[in-house]
Copies of this chain bind each other. A is one copy, B any other.
Amino acid sequence: MKIGIMGFGVVGSGVGEIIANSPDGLLSRSGEKIEIARILDLRDFPDSPFHCFTKDFQDILNDDQIEIVAEVMGGTKPAYEFTRQLLLAGKHVVTSNKELVAKHGTELLKIAEEKNVNYLFEASVGGGIPIIRPLYSSLSANELTDVLGILNGTTNYILTQMIKAGESFEDALHGAQEKGYAEKDPTADVEGYDTCRKIAILASLAFGKYVNSEAIETEGITKITLEDVAYAEAIGGVIKLIGMASKAKDGVYARVCPAILKKEHPLAGIDDVFNGIMVKGDAIGDVMFYGRGAGSLPTASAVVSDIIDIVKHKDKHIRLGWTEGTPGYLKDGAEQEFRFYIRLTGDADAFRRSGFQMIPFSGKKVQKEFAVLTPVMSGKEFQKLCAELKQEHEILGTLRLVDE
């Protein structure tokens, strides 16, 4: 079985390494020898052990011997057009490209079905953690109700440093960049955009209808302070950046936000660059998946597992995917209910509201500020509350509480 690789960056070179280093192992698991026939990349790799590089996409598209292509170039241009053409030409495509799956997955999956080939994307969420396949396969006997995950290793590393080492956001980000966990421009990670694409893919797959990532309310971690971390600790919680999606009566809720998780929550113990994804189903209850959510070999191993799956199911379309979204299916997030954490200026002793829980602060004494947990309320009610509080207080920070 000859395959092509498009993009020879972090993931692409990992795919090459796994296939080149374990031909026998892959052979026995897939039932066929897997051989890399072409690698597309605009750069030169004079020291690479591979000698099948090309700069011309047509060399892959028109090579009838190549039946499977790993698209690991990222971005939507030209990945979208390339993938479309490959599927239309009857080739299978596997990808780690979350941006492309989140944006054009509906169309690409439809083309794959029509052409009786496969478009698989296990590597697009959670790196090497098996999550896509369990969602459409192992958990298929369940009506799924919630998907909740720590889906971005960079932000989880930063938050872990803030919580465990007491570093400020800026220092933790700087450290992450030095370790190679964060990019020079960390926007996509710290603003939650990466998590957003991943939860959009998970929500689409879990609940069966397309959820557009661009419509998901997304909040990053740049405003989290060490005071927030200390107040969270005071109520037995930790702050994590969470992508979440829940089935509602006539649609779904989806959002990305930093949230306080109580320490008993299965996701609360997931630290550093690890990812964890929790799925709730009517029969199974809670299931959680945990592992390295990024990195060359973990992500590449997920790409290769998709390749092996296709080799095992040649000439067979694997049923997975979702239907087109419909207006109103993604519900207004302001209707979703939570308990909220608010940190605000003023005198705690003077603050008296029934149903509110004052949070004792054991960190370094901060004058004239305090924090409370609200009763359960909708986002809309919370906005109203904040508007009202602003007349007497400055609001220094807000977070949702994810209780279980």
Please report A residues at the B interface, Cβ cutoff 8 Å: 14, 18, 22, 25-26, 28-31, 122, 128-130, 133-134, 136-143, 208, 266, 269, 281-292, 295, 297-298, 300-305, 307-309, 312-313, 316, 318-319
Contact = CB atoms under 8 A, between A and B. Distances in A.
A170 to B, nearest CB: 27
A246 to B, nearest CB: 17
How often does this chain occur in the complex, in copies? 2
A393 B374 CA distance: 59
Contact of A133 (B26, B134, B298): B134
Given A139-B301, A289-B289, 8 more contacts: A128-B281, A137-B308, A137-B309, A138-B302, A140-B304, A140-B305, A141-B303, A286-B290
Contacts of A304: 140-141, 283
Given A22-B143, A301-B139, A284 B133 contact: no
Given A304-B141, A305-B138, A305-B139, A130 B287 contact: yes
B286 A18 contact: no
Main secondary structure of the interface of A (DSSP, over half): mixed
A123 to B, nearest CB: 10
A287 B128 contact: yes
A308 B283 CA distance: 15
A295 B26 CA distance: 36
Q: Among A18, A143, A287, which residue has the most Cβ atoms of chain B within 10 A?
A: A287
A128 B283 contact: yes
A21 to B, nearest CB: 9
Contact of A305 (B141, B301, B318): B141
Given A137-B133, A288-B290, A289-B289, A283 B269 contact: no
The 7 A-B pairs at the shortest CB distance, nearest first, are namely A130-B138, A141-B304, A283-B301, A287-B291, A128-B284, A288-B290, A283-B297
A153 B316 CA distance: 38
14 contacts: A26-B140, A29-B140, A130-B137, A137-B305, A139-B301, A141-B300, A141-B307, A266-B269, A284-B291, A284-B292, A285-B291, A288-B288, A288-B289, A288-B290
Contacts of A297: 282-285
